[in-house]
Amino acid sequence: MTAGQAPMFSFALEGTAGHARAGTLQTPHGEVPTPAFMPVGTYGTVRGLHPAEVRRAGARMILGNTYHLHLRPGEDVVRSLGGLHAFSHWDRPMLTDSGGFQVFSLEGLRTIEEEGVAFQSHIDGSYRTITPERAVEIQWALGADIAMQFDHVVPGGAPHALAREGMERSLRWLDRCKARHVALQAADDSLPRVSASPPPAATQALWPIVQGGTHSDLRRASLEGILERGPWTGIAIGGLSVGEPKPVMHAVLDELAPVLPMDVPRYLMGVGFPQDLLEGIARGVDLFDCVAPTRNGRHGSAWISTGRVNLRSSLHRLSKEPLDAECDCETCGTFSRGYLRHLFVAGEILGLRLVSIHNVRFLIRLAEQARAHVLDGTFDGWSREWLRRYQLRGES
Amino acid sequence: MTAGQAPMFSFALEGTAGHARAGTLQTPHGEVPTPAFMPVGTYGTVRGLHPAEVRRAGARMILGNTYHLHLRPGEDVVRSLGGLHAFSHWDRPMLTDSGGFQVFSLEGLRTIEEEGVAFQSHIDGSYRTITPERAVEIQWALGADIAMQFDHVVPGGAPHALAREGMERSLRWLDRCKARHVALQAADDSLPRVSASPPPAATQALWPIVQGGTHSDLRRASLEGILERGPWTGIAIGGLSVGEPKPVMHAVLDELAPVLPMDVPRYLMGVGFPQDLLEGIARGVDLFDCVAPTRNGRHGSAWISTGRVNLRSSLHRLSKEPLDAECDCETCGTFSRGYLRHLFVAGEILGLRLVSIHNVRFLIRLAEQARAHVLDGTFDGWSREWLRRYQLRGES
């Protein structure tokens, strides 16, 4: 059975408001109501957080980084310890990227050929190669519910010729990814089972990635090529939020919204600042991921409904107020801004954890609110007002 | 009303086994069954842990460091934000040290005079002075249940003359601490209330510290001086575990055990490795504190019932075993050694947190077990067997 036909994956569209959508993605590890934000667990942990905290923040699905997990601890170790779900104690849906974005980011340390990408590990300088087949094998060993194709990512401002080269190669690599993925599934019994956590031996889905840079003809050609190779249980949009201006990203999403199939979830890779989430949802995106909530959290930078807050600021020294009075996260219900500021000034790691919890919850709640407003038909007005309020004042 | 007469503090001795004791300390923020281990929350947080984790690890009482909190964020900030309990979201008993140990550790950066100690902040180099009166005022502002006297701490191997100087000065400083503490309590209504958390305006106890280095005549003289100045709701033993050999520490405790009053809790300051805990309990100690559980945890070093485990070791790379199969902590019930090792190798801060949780729980549980064995009269045999097993094998 191929990934496209796997019965454990389905998507039910439950409502729309313009291009904005609300649905439910079904995976072997459970449901994901969409739109949804996926926190990123680079090394098998959403940085600084306990899986129970990620769960309590409302995360229904998280993302693991194949490039990082391949280097440390290695997919063989993860597989030996029961797969990524059991290893990291996360029993809800999980997706792994293919490592494509990371290896293409290793400017000067990697060589791109048709066969794959040769690169030097950023950790120990060792030489390694990732091919489409290897990317699929690594992800199979990691055992997430959803694996991504290995793709050729080009920079944000890439000219047409380069963007075309990346797009076309990504399609050829998709063929190779799919062939290897089908073979792994067919050989299922002779291979180690994917995950020791329930349900055992879950079948993994493979999702393709629309490439083509900022060029609408290439994006459409990429999508056509992908659909010819389908069916798929989900389709990702890659190569955005990689340096291009926001209006250009929006234009690409506007182009794709009406031509993407309605009945599969759409995943906008690596995107997840608050405004981007709402702009993406308005353009039909169902799934998002981004490291910003935890990366910003580590630096004491928090999102709240009226903008950004820098918790290192002396403004908060004597503040008894919660970080965000409108937030329902564990941090906002418990600690004062004054205490959070103290933790950052004193270099106490509890601080980055508490702000990371808030930021993760903030994005997840924003997606939850968007879903509710799509379902009751008020998304447009709500979203406009939300963005107006968020952008009203500067950082404090 | 003086600290010694404060009705909110009491100690009930419930059982003995030789010099080992089991009792219950009553404070304004609740009971502490003893013997008990207090985790250390230097800057208003037990490093790396959420107060809910510290609570779930079974901690009934924690310690805050006055020297550190005075420098950052400053006792005025803590008081403005409701006192140390509310500030750090800890609603169980809390004790603050006096800062004496820390300022005396600032070798080369401090000058000792009869008036007090002048020192340079280790953070910004600013010049500051702590006197007995200031130490009490700072602790009053912090608002813990129990404040410690400001004492003159001498090094572990201090000769008789120096140890005598420190011991006698500590007694003179105890007079000044007590006078200031009584004045603060008398002026209670005109001063900011100690804590916003229940119970409001809790009365704070002041505890004296037995000094005298490793010299038994000085230790006895110190205790006599303290008792003349009493009554007290608790008595601490300071100036141990500061470089002297273990048998010397045990000899001092052996000397003190029969002469310390039975009806007050005895607190051995800064002591808390597993063996030290049992050796101390055998010599009549009721309370312990130590930063080792979290400091070791940050370095991947864990205590288990059969010795120490270094989680960075490649021995654990493929281990599905829990850190300690006999432990009931959140970490041991959830994660494998293989995963913990991965977190340390990858530099993920979740690792130090998970091992800190285990180490804290390990010491708290050891004290709980000791208490049960004192109460059922089996402490000696159990303790001997525990130590034998713990020391049986090397580090792994």
DSSP 8-state assignment for residue B190: G
DSSP 8-state assignment for residue A193: P
| Distance separating alpha carbons of residues A145 and B272, to the nearest angstrom | 45
Which residues 346-365 in chain B show a CB within 8 A of chain A? 346, 348-350, 352-354
**Burial of B320 per CB tally in 10 Å (0-12, 13-18, 19+):** middle
Residues of B in contact with A320 (CB under 8 A): 81-82
Among candidates B98, B224, B226, B216, which has minimal Cα distance to B171?
A: B226
Contact A353 B50 (CB under 8 A): yes
| Distance separating alpha carbons of residues B387 and B396, to the nearest angstrom | 17
CB distance B229 to B256 below 8 Å: no
Alpha carbon distances (Å) from A81 to A48, A191, A297, B319: 21, 15, 30, 7
ipTM above 0.90, yes or no: yes
| Distance separating alpha carbons of residues A178 and B355, to the nearest angstrom | 41
> In 3-state terms, chain B is what percent helix, strand and coil (to 5)?
40, 20, 40
Residues of A in contact with B49 (CB under 8 A): 350
CB neighbours of residue B95 within 10 Å: 26
H helix runs in chain A, sequence order: 51-56, 66-71, 75-80, 83-88, 100-105, 132-142, 160-186, 216-228, 246-256, 274-282, 292-298, 337-345, 349-375, 379-390
Contact B89 A339 (CB under 8 A): yes
* Global confidence as pTM: 0.94
Tokens of residue B285, six digits: 């100690």
Which of B42, B46, B49, B50 is the mutation pick for testing A, counting most A CBs within 10 A? B50
3-state secondary structure at position B43: coil
The alpha carbon torsion through B221, B224, B228, B229 (nearest 10 deg) reads 70
Q: Say how many residues make up chain B.
A: 396
CB distance A126 to A70 below 8 Å: no
| Distance separating alpha carbons of residues A100 and B300, to the nearest angstrom | 33
- Chain B: residue whose CA lies nearest to A331: B50
pLDDT on residue A193: 47
For B18-71, the pLDDT digits (tens) are: 999 999 999 999 999 999 999 999 999 999 999 999 999 999 999 999 999 999
Mean pLDDT of B131-139: 97
Examine the pLDDT at B322 and tell me if it is beyond 90: yes
For A370-381, the pLDDT digits (tens) are: 999 999 999 999
Examine the pLDDT at B238 and tell me if it is beyond 70: yes
pLDDT on residue A197: 38
pLDDT on residue A196: 38
Residues of A in contact with B341 (CB under 8 A): 73
Contact B81 A48 (CB under 8 A): no
pLDDT on residue B222: 98
Tokens of residue A100, six digits: 């494509």
DSSP 8-state assignment for residue A63: E
User: Would you call A322 an interface residue with chain B, using a CB distance cutoff of 8 Å?
Assistant: no
Among candidates A170, A71, A233, A321, which has minimal Cα distance to B80?
A: A321
Name the minimum distance, in Å, from the CA of A236 to any CA of chain B: 28
For B279-300, the pLDDT digits (tens) are: 999 999 999 999 999 999 999 9
User: Would you call A297 an interface residue with chain B, using a CB distance cutoff of 8 Å?
Assistant: no
For A295-320, the pLDDT digits (tens) are: 999 999 999 999 999 999 999 999 99
Residues of B in contact with A82 (CB under 8 A): 320
Alpha carbon distances (Å) from A274 to A82, A99, A380, B182: 35, 25, 15, 55
| Distance separating alpha carbons of residues A194 and A173, to the nearest angstrom | 23
Among candidates A366, A342, A364, A344, which has minimal Cα distance to A353?
A: A344
pLDDT on residue A203: 86
**Burial of B33 per CB tally in 10 Å (0-12, 13-18, 19+):** middle
3-state secondary structure at position A201: coil
pLDDT on residue B393: 64
Residues of B in contact with A47 (CB under 8 A): 348-350
| Distance separating alpha carbons of residues B299 and B309, to the nearest angstrom | 11
User: B310: which strand partners?
Assistant: B301
For A26-56, the pLDDT digits (tens) are: 999 999 999 999 999 999 999 999 999 999 9
Mean pLDDT of B142-164: 95
Tokens of residue A216, six digits: 């609408």
Cβ-nearest to B336 among A81, A342, A353: A81
pLDDT on residue B273: 95
CB distance B360 to B330 below 8 Å: no
Contact A77 B342 (CB under 8 A): yes
Name the minimum distance, in Å, from the CA of B64 to any CA of chain A: 14
Query: Which is the catalytic residue, given A151, A276, A289, A324?
Result: A289
Q: Is the peptide bond before A28 cis (omega within 30 degrees of 0)?
A: no
| Distance separating alpha carbons of residues B302 and B329, to the nearest angstrom | 13
CB neighbours of residue B12 within 10 Å: 12
Q: What is the mean pLDDT of each run of 10 residues along chain A (396 residues)?
A: 59 98 97 98 96 98 97 96 97 96 88 95 92 97 97 93 98 98 79 41 85 97 97 97 93 98 98 96 98 96 95 97 97 98 97 98 98 98 96 63
Cβ-nearest to B48 among A73, A317, A349: A349
| Distance separating alpha carbons of residues B364 and B53, to the nearest angstrom | 13
DSSP A325-337: TT--STTTTT--H
Does the annotation count A254 as an active-site position? Answer: no
Q: pLDDT band for position B7 (50/70/90)?
A: low
Mean pLDDT of B58-87: 97
pLDDT on residue B185: 87
| Distance separating alpha carbons of residues B212 and B240, to the nearest angstrom | 10
pLDDT on residue A109: 87
Q: pLDDT band for position B302 (50/70/90)?
A: very high
Tokens of residue B192, six digits: 């900011």
Residues of A in contact with B50 (CB under 8 A): 350, 353-354
Percent of chain B with pLDDT over 70: 93
Secondary element (H or E) of residue B273: none
Cβ-nearest to B73 among A45, A342, A352: A342
